[in-house]
Amino acid sequence: MTTNQQTKPEKTDAVPGAPLLEVDDLHVEFRTRDGVAKAINGVSYSVSAGETLAVLGESGSGKSVTAQTIMGILDMPPGVITGGEIRFHGRDMLKMDKDERRKIRGKKIAMIFQDALSALNPVYSVGFQLAEMYRVHEGMSRKDAKARAIELMDLVKIPAAKERVNDYPHQFSGGMRQRIMIAMAMALDPELIIADEPTTALDVTVQAQVMDLLAELQRERHMGLILITHDLGVVADVADKIAVMYAGRIVEHAPVDKLYSSPAHPYTEGLLASIPRLDLKGQDLYAIKGLPPNLMRIPSGCAFNPRCPYAQDICRADVPPLIEVAPARHSACHFAQQVLDKNGGS
């Protein structure tokens, strides 16, 4: 890197240690002809500079919808934000006007999408798409922006960046394309990156490389990172804390090592038990019984109760709140303490 991207004068407004982004009791629903799907039902989490939050959950758990709402790229309609705040440096972005919001997108908060092949525009060269960030946000000339695009491609370790800058997305391999996506997100040196399943579409060997690159850049630049995934393996190495989502709620929130060693929610327990393990080779893999709930008919009480081995009458009647069960550990389960004790966490 020859540019001065390491110095970040615009970040002085951030109070050290204070959360960069706070999602506070967010509610989002999708109003369709078939009915109302309650996608997010009171999600709260926060990310500080230099911190990695992993958001874990099955498809339909609301993890991507939360990310899209933060980015302001939720399709509205059918999506409707029915409550909550999303504060960036303490300011509620949901109350900002369109233009102010747009200037945060890409520049302060950037997003990395799952499938780079469809997320990149097929008819423009990667150089054009990278340079566009500088041309639009910083009014840079075509030539300067292109030079910066090449620097970006070097940054994400794409070989022969100079020769490849005019190539089109389809001419790159999956891993290289995802690097382009990362480069695009890094372009304006954002304070927060949201990565929505950044490695899901990649080969296992490439997954690790891409994840390492992302983690390295995040460390160097002291950015906040929200890593959305359903892959427990990806999370363990890079995340500081984990939020587990189920049916639009956070069911467990804990530092990464604590969560792995001693889950405090039956759903997390089930997820961990379903990871294939070498020492259990030959045995049937554990699977959480049942299916994720239909978001138009979320079960009463705890949404997980029909699938939960601990379920009692109270679980069918009352929604368990997310409460602190041990220092820095939160679980939304009526029997959280019991689950935690069983797993040796207290």
Partner 1 sequence: MGRYVVRRLLQMIPVFLGTTFLIYFMVYQLGGDPISAMFGDKAADPVFVRQMREEYHLNDPLIVQYWYYLTGLLTGDFGTSFSGIPVADELKRAFPISIRLALIAFAIEIVVGVGAGLLAGLRRGKFADSVVLVTTLIVISIPVFVLGYVVQYWLGLKWQLFPATATPGDPTWEDLILPGIVLGSLSLAFVARLTRTSIAENMRADFVRTATAKGLPRRRVVTVHLLRNSLIPVVTFLGADLGALMAGAIVTEGIFNVDGVGRLIYLAVTKHENATVVGAVAALVIVYLVMNLIVDLLYAVLDPRIRYA
**Identified binder of partner 1 from the candidate list 2, 123, 313, 344, rule CB under 8 A:** 123
Nearest approach in angstroms of CB 119 to partner 1 is: 4
* Closest CB to partner 1 among residues 75, 284: 75
Nearest approach in angstroms of CB 98 to partner 1 is: 8
Nearest approach in angstroms of CB 105 to partner 1 is: 4
Of 44-52, 112-120, 154-162, 308-316, the window that binds partner 1 (rule: CB under 8 A) is: 112-120
120 binds partner 1 (CB under 8 A): yes
* Closest CB to partner 1 among residues 120, 325: 120
Comparing CA positions, the residue from 197, 184, 107 lying closest to residue 149 is: 184
Which value, to the nearest 10 degrees, does the dihedral of the CA atoms of residues 100, 105, 106, 109 take?
Answer: 110
Comparing CA positions, the residue from 48, 52, 113 lying closest to residue 87 is: 48
The distance of Cα 213 from the centroid of its chain, to the nearest Å, equals 16
113 binds partner 1 (CB under 8 A): yes
* Closest CB to partner 1 among residues 122, 282: 122
Task: Compose the 13-52 pattern: x for residues touching partner 1 by CB under 8 A, - for all others.
Answer: ----------------------------------------
All residues at 6 or more sequence positions from 204 whose CB lies less than 8 Å from its CB, including other chains: none
**Which residues between 65 and 84 bind partner 1 (CB under 8 A)?**
71, 73, 75
With both helix axes pointing from N to C terminus, report the angle between 126-138 and 174-186 in degrees, rounded to the nearest 10: 10
* Closest CB to partner 1 among residues 168, 286: 168
User: Any long-range contacts for 5-10 (C-beta under 8 Å, 24+ apart)?
Assistant: 5/189, 5/221, 6/220, 6/221, 8/189, 8/221
Give φ, ψ of 97 to 5 degrees.
Answer: -80, 165
217 binds partner 1 (CB under 8 A): no
Give residues in contact with partner 1 (CB under 8 A).
Answer: 71, 73, 75, 102-107, 110-111, 113, 115, 118-123, 125, 132-133, 136-137, 168, 170, 184
